Structure 1
Amino acid sequence: MTRAGDVEGLRLGEVEAFLGIPYAAAPVGPLRWRPPAPVAPWTGVRAATQYGPSAWQAVMPEGFGPWTREYVVQDEVSEDCLYLNVWTPATRAAGPCPVLVWIHGGAFCQGSGSVPIYEGRALAAQGVVVVTLNYRLGVLGFLSHPALSQEDPAQGGGNFGLQDQLAALRWIQDNIAAFGGNPGAVTLAGQSAGALSVHMLVASPRARGLFHRAIAQSGPPTLAPIRNRAEAEADGCAFVDSLQAATPDALRSWPVAALTRTLAPGPRFMPMVDGVLLPAWPPQRSPQHLGSDVPMLVGQTADENSGLDPAYAGDDGTALDALLQRQAGSAAPALAEAYRQACAGDTGAAYHAASRDAWLAALWDWASQRLGHTHSPVYAYHFDHAPPGPETQRYGAFHTAEVPYVMSTLHAAPDRGYSSDDHALSALASRYWLNFVRTGNPNSPGMPPWPALDDRVPRMLRIAPDPTVEPMLSAACRQIVDHQQRAPTLVTLLS
């Protein structure tokens, strides 16, 4: 029983699944570019046996680059997309279960809670309630315009996709107990754009009390150049003008395909600093906006940019120099020489090391500031295992590679040929994540210890078949951190 009406799901062995539950009204017609509205109650029993439509987006169901079918949207897309999915243990424990809420990635223009690697069945079988959700994307989720701000000054206008995420968190507070979940033990988690969403909600005063722990995978704030309101509204005005419309209101009746047909592929409309939901960015630059003081688990993969950067690990020395110039400014020539020497003159290996260190530096830049102003621990990881599959040597531990391991969804890609070592690593990684969801600490007896970050001697867990605790920062990393702290709005390849 939900507050809007009864739902009937599926029994899947040890787990019950309730799919495609609406958590807000369909954001269509007059509700386009407005805050999420309440769901209209229904009578009778609503079937919750299949996923709801994913947010409107361009789809590539066969995948691209290292992201094979299990990483991408496979189902219907629609502007009517505000649905979530719940997996819960079929046999209730003595008390309510902790809750894991997963926010999908996709550069705020792609993705869905129904992507196969996010399925919550395996984790729910181990005693947690798993929720995945959709939110508005692209121009439908993040168009900014002065007219929209005037319509809704209380919310600040825009950031509709973030407002959707908040609405889903409120739905969880109101309803998750009926599914066996504990609304007082909610972990907010996400990867890539989902991780940035987590950081934004951690920083948001509107989200306080809606979650109690947070996981942000591959989304350090200093690598994301989020625009301010003036910049976002100027771009929104240019878009509306390009369609020869006077205001966004004139576009609310347009078919969604006509509205989006002129947009180039890739991200353009993203969250903005609106001063209300998101008061500042990056959050660590403004201690008064650090937000919820909750335990956090954060990290990255070893080859984040392998599928994103065409120059990644190539032998082009000018590309390495340009990368380091962006990362380290005046320190770039000395760093380039140091990387080349450390890699025995192998430019590709030097590029790989510099790219990895830029992500680590960004992660530490955020974490060191947070540790100085909050009381809760931060746990950092480095996922250093290349999954089997197409062009494994080229892509390595690519962006998103860790997700099926921690979600225990290797079964979503039988063609990849996962080995017993892969399954053992997945069991270990998911156990760390489950421990954190349950207690705010990834450790438990019998596991390789994972220390919390210490701002004096920062160490992280290298997650691999032979997990080890390693220093987080090399000397080169520290120089990159120094530059990032002087130039906090870096250009990123996250998209």
Structure 2
Amino acid sequence: MKLFVFAALLAVPLVPATAIAQTKTAPATDLTRNRVQTANGPLEGATAASGIHEFKGVPFAAPPIGGLRWREPQPVKNWTTVRSAKQFGPRAMQLPLFGDMNFRSDGVSEDCLYLNVWTPAKTGREKLPVLVYFYGGGFVAGDGSEPRYDGESMARRGIVAVTVNYRLGVFGFLAHPELTKESPHHASGNYGFLDQSAALRWVQQNIAAFGGDPKQVTIAGESAGSMSVSAQMASPLSKALFARAIGESGSMLNTSFGPVPLAEAEQTGVAFATSLGAGSLAALRALPAQQLLEATGKPGTARFAPTLDGYFFTKMPTATFVASEQARVPLLVGWNSQEMGYQALLGQDQPTVANYTKTLQKLYGDQAAAAQKAYPATTDAEVEQAATDLAGDRFIAYSTWKWAEMQQQTGGQPVYRYLYARPRPAMTPEMGNATAGLAGGVVKQAADAPKAPPAKGAVHSAEIEYALGNLSTNKVYAWTPDDRQVSNTLQTYFANFIKTGNPNGAGLPTWPQASSGQVLRIDVKTQAEPDKTRPRYLFMEQQRSR
């Protein structure tokens, strides 16, 4: 693209995030013809065999390309003729990192700010509860078209379901001094979070036309998506845009994933630009998107983390929760029984007491005895579970616990906590030589690589298909009647919570609030149990404060 075109794009005025939702409200719509009038223009979707109406590839912000690369999302240009909404839009720029990700999207592109809606409504006057789901993938991968997030099953339960795309990696989280300078908010980074916030404003403005109730919006997500939910709860830009929240394995509270101070993030951005020979922001914006993407995959390239930018995050998320300044909404939150394997802690070493003790001493020094007390293992047979617990807590469970703990203390609303413990079943025979990756951290394995031992617990991301009623979309595993039972139980809890803010309902084991000291263990036999893990997380708290 010629330089004068870039100069013209750079001259596009920046609109504050609060302005992306226009004042005009979309009128009620007759959905029987799959026609919806949004605030930006008319859409035509399709009807699934189940009768659910589907609207895919709906733009909620202008394409963040050219001069809009690394700017907060801008308003969509209105259209007057009917726009087809029958195909998923492109997914955000990303490398093929995770073996469990399957996409139905229209390729990869910077032009990625699209969302998808599934609704059972017949008119725009039904005021149904709404689920907005953010995908996981470590803020470097993922897409709203992934079958495991499909909204049809939730829609069949009387919920308007929405999946949202947001920018990833260098496109979603680059900070740079020149970006900070040009921003009216003196902020840079967090564009992926700002995309999510813009989508929530779109939902507030438009979801009634799809039969949804903007006053009954639940935001949810897993892994990076769960971190995103906690981020939106902490941000003053978003905390009034939803009524309930669900977090599955991940939060922005007390995590090593950020946010990092703006000055630090800016220097990371400068170093990245320098490595590409881009001495200015204009030169960086002029580089092809594919070149930027490929550069992020080179060894030694820094991770682009969420940033304490003073705009999306006005303070560290934990501090926001301590001050009771977060979204004061009911929270359903939990994690899985095997978020990480013991190998993440012990490496190639065998799970023996000697190796475990050596690892604890390396990690915790003079606190190794305290670690051993919190994660006890006195025999070789106990080491595997203790190391698995510690690895999972260090990875993601502790930060999720911290979120639940703080919302319980300062959120003024009920918190419901779960431990998901159902291991996946065996793979189907045709998939026996394939390896299923994890949404938060396992790269797809070659077919001839050594196979990892079968999981004894529920691995990271394993609950997604169960919770959203999408077991049938995953052909890797040989699902059993027990799996379908667990899925029905978990999805029913989720649906009840989305509708009322309380997961309990007829035919379900009672799920007490976390304030009772109990946690719901979800498996073939689902039941509330006393929380015996608190000493582990208090140990983590102590280490955090050292």
| Structure 1 and Structure 2 fold alike (TM over 0.5) | yes
Q: Give the C-alpha shift of residue 346 in structure 1.
A: 3.7
Q: Which stretch of structure 1 is more off in the superposition, 367-376 or 296-305?
A: 367-376
Q: Root-mean-square deviation (CA), in Å?
A: 2.6
Is the Cα–Cα contact under 8 Å of residues 496 and 504 in structure 2 kept in the other structure? yes
Task: Give the equivalent residue in structure 2 for 1:461.
Answer: 520
Q: For residues 163 and 363 of structure 1, do their structure 2 counterparts lie closer, same or farther at Cα, with a shift above 3 Å needed?
A: closer
Task: Give the equivalent residue in structure 1 for 2:443.
Answer: none
Counterpart of 1:280 (choices 287, 291, 315) is 315
Is the Cα–Cα contact under 8 Å of residues 53 and 77 in structure 1 kept in the other structure? yes
1:224 paired with 2:256, answer yes
Q: Give the C-alpha shift of residue 309 in structure 1.
A: 2.8
C-alpha separation between the residues in 1 aligned to 2:465 and 2:453?
A: 16
Counterpart of 2:497 (choices 424, 436, 455) is 436
Q: Give the C-alpha shift of residue 328 in structure 1.
A: 5.9
Q: For residues 336 and 96 of structure 1, do their structure 2 counterparts lie closer, same or farther at Cα, with a shift above 3 Å needed?
A: same
- The runs of 5 or more residues in structure 1 that have no matched partner are 488-495
C-alpha separation between the residues in 2 aligned to 1:311 and 1:75?
A: 41
Letter of the structure 1 residue corresponding to residue 497 of structure 2 = F
Give 3-state SS (helix, strand or coil) of 1:184's partner: strand
Counterpart of 2:153 (choices 122, 140, 146) is 122
Q: Give the C-alpha shift of residue 3 in structure 1.
A: 1.0
Q: Which stretch of structure 1 is more off in the superposition, 342-351 or 131-140?
A: 342-351
C-alpha separation between the residues in 2 aligned to 1:230 and 1:277?
A: 15
Q: Give the C-alpha shift of residue 395 in structure 1.
A: 6.6
Question: After the TM superposition, which residues 270-419 of structure 1 pair with which residues of structure 2 at under 5 Å, given as runs?
Answer: 270-284=305-319, 287-288=322-323, 290-306=325-341, 309=344, 311=346, 315-316=350-351, 320-321=356-357, 324=360, 330-336=366-372, 339=375, 341=377, 345-356=381-392, 358=394, 360-388=397-425, 389=427, 393-394=454-455, 396-419=457-480
C-alpha separation between the residues in 1 aligned to 2:415 and 2:139?
A: 25
Task: Give the equivalent residue in structure 2 for 1:2.
Answer: 38
1:208 paired with 2:239, answer yes
C-alpha separation between the residues in 1 aligned to 2:412 and 2:535?
A: 29
Is the Cα–Cα contact under 8 Å of residues 377 and 452 in structure 1 kept in the other structure? yes
Is the Cα–Cα contact under 8 Å of residues 54 and 76 in structure 1 kept in the other structure? yes
C-alpha separation between the residues in 2 aligned to 1:253 and 1:94?
A: 46
Residues 93-114 of structure 1, C-alpha deviation per residue, up to 9 Å, x if partnerless?
9831100000011111100111
Counterpart of 2:117 (choices 75, 83, 86) is 86
Task: Give the equivalent residue in structure 1 for 2:138.
Answer: 107
Counterpart of 2:211 (choices 166, 171, 180) is 180
C-alpha separation between the residues in 2 aligned to 1:417 and 1:325?
A: 41
C-alpha separation between the residues in 1 aligned to 2:461 and 2:495?
A: 18
Residues 455-483 of structure 1, C-alpha deviation per residue, up to 9 Å, x if partnerless?
xx522101111012123244641542442
Residues 162-195 of structure 1, C-alpha deviation per residue, up to 9 Å, x if partnerless?
1111110011011100000000100011111111
Counterpart of 2:485 (choices 424, 428, 438) is 424
C-alpha separation between the residues in 2 aligned to 1:353 and 1:203?
A: 28
C-alpha separation between the residues in 2 aligned to 1:40 and 1:124?
A: 29
Residues 425-478 of structure 1, C-alpha deviation per residue, up to 9 Å, x if partnerless?
100000000011001111112210111111xx5221011110121232446415
Give 3-state SS (helix, strand or coil) of 2:521's partner: strand
Q: For residues 135 and 284 of structure 1, do their structure 2 counterparts lie closer, same or farther at Cα, with a shift above 3 Å needed?
A: same
Q: Give the C-alpha shift of residue 44 in structure 1.
A: 1.0
Residues 13-67 of structure 1, C-alpha deviation per residue, up to 9 Å, x if partnerless?
220000000101110011111111111111211110010000001125xx53xx3
C-alpha separation between the residues in 1 aligned to 2:172 and 2:47?
A: 33
Q: For residues 97 and 199 of structure 1, do their structure 2 counterparts lie closer, same or farther at Cα, with a shift above 3 Å needed?
A: same
Letter of the structure 2 residue corresponding to residue 44 of structure 1 = T
Task: Give the equivalent residue in structure 1 for 2:174.
Answer: 143
Q: Give the C-alpha shift of residue 416 in structure 1.
A: 1.1
Q: Give the C-alpha shift of residue 312 in structure 1.
A: 7.0
1:198 paired with 2:257, answer no
Q: For residues 141 and 302 of structure 1, do their structure 2 counterparts lie closer, same or farther at Cα, with a shift above 3 Å needed?
A: same
Question: After the TM superposition, which residues 8-87 of structure 1 pair with which residues of structure 2 at under 5 Å, given as runs?
Answer: 8-12=44-48, 13-59=50-96, 64=99, 67=100, 69-70=101-102, 76-87=107-118
Instruction: Give TM-score scaled by structure 1 length.
Output: 0.89
Is the Cα–Cα contact under 8 Å of residues 135 and 141 in structure 1 kept in the other structure? yes
Give 3-state SS (helix, strand or coil) of 2:192's partner: helix
Give 3-state SS (helix, strand or coil) of 2:525's partner: coil
C-alpha separation between the residues in 1 aligned to 2:43 and 2:269?
A: 39
Is the Cα–Cα contact under 8 Å of residues 365 and 485 in structure 1 kept in the other structure? no
Q: For residues 393 and 365 of structure 1, do their structure 2 counterparts lie closer, same or farther at Cα, with a shift above 3 Å needed?
A: same
Q: Which stretch of structure 1 is more off in the superposition, 251-260 or 420-429?
A: 251-260
Task: Give the equivalent residue in structure 2 for 1:490.
Answer: none
Q: Which stretch of structure 1 is more off in the superposition, 261-270 or 160-169?
A: 261-270
C-alpha separation between the residues in 1 aligned to 2:244 and 2:347?
A: 34
Letter of the structure 2 residue corresponding to residue 167 of structure 1 = A
Residues 263-295 of structure 1, C-alpha deviation per residue, up to 9 Å, x if partnerless?
226971121111221122242576236411111
Q: Give the C-alpha shift of residue 368 in structure 1.
A: 2.7
Instruction: Give TM-score scaled by structure 2 length.
Output: 0.81
Give 3-state SS (helix, strand or coil) of 1:447's partner: coil
Task: Give the equivalent residue in structure 2 for 1:492.
Answer: none
Q: For residues 360 and 103 of structure 1, do their structure 2 counterparts lie closer, same or farther at Cα, with a shift above 3 Å needed?
A: closer
Q: Give the C-alpha shift of residue 360 in structure 1.
A: 4.8
C-alpha separation between the residues in 2 aligned to 1:176 and 1:308?
A: 45
Q: For residues 203 and 11 of structure 1, do their structure 2 counterparts lie closer, same or farther at Cα, with a shift above 3 Å needed?
A: same
C-alpha separation between the residues in 1 aligned to 2:88 and 2:404?
A: 36
- The runs of 5 or more residues in structure 2 that have no matched partner are 1-36, 428-434, 436-451
Q: Give the C-alpha shift of residue 251 in structure 1.
A: 1.8
Give 3-state SS (helix, strand or coil) of 1:416's partner: coil
C-alpha separation between the residues in 1 aligned to 2:343 and 2:104?
A: 19
C-alpha separation between the residues in 2 aligned to 1:293 and 1:406?
A: 24
For these two proteins, the number of residue pairs brought into alignment is: 479
Q: For residues 208 and 363 of structure 1, do their structure 2 counterparts lie closer, same or farther at Cα, with a shift above 3 Å needed?
A: closer
Give 3-state SS (helix, strand or coil) of 2:273's partner: helix
Q: Which stretch of structure 1 is more off in the superposition, 86-95 or 74-83?
A: 86-95
C-alpha separation between the residues in 1 aligned to 2:90 and 2:135?
A: 14
C-alpha separation between the residues in 2 aligned to 1:130 and 1:269?
A: 30
Is the Cα–Cα contact under 8 Å of residues 496 and 505 in structure 2 kept in the other structure? yes
Task: Give the equivalent residue in structure 1 for 2:508.
Answer: 447
Letter of the structure 2 residue corresponding to residue 179 of structure 1 = F
Is the Cα–Cα contact under 8 Å of residues 339 and 397 in structure 2 kept in the other structure? no
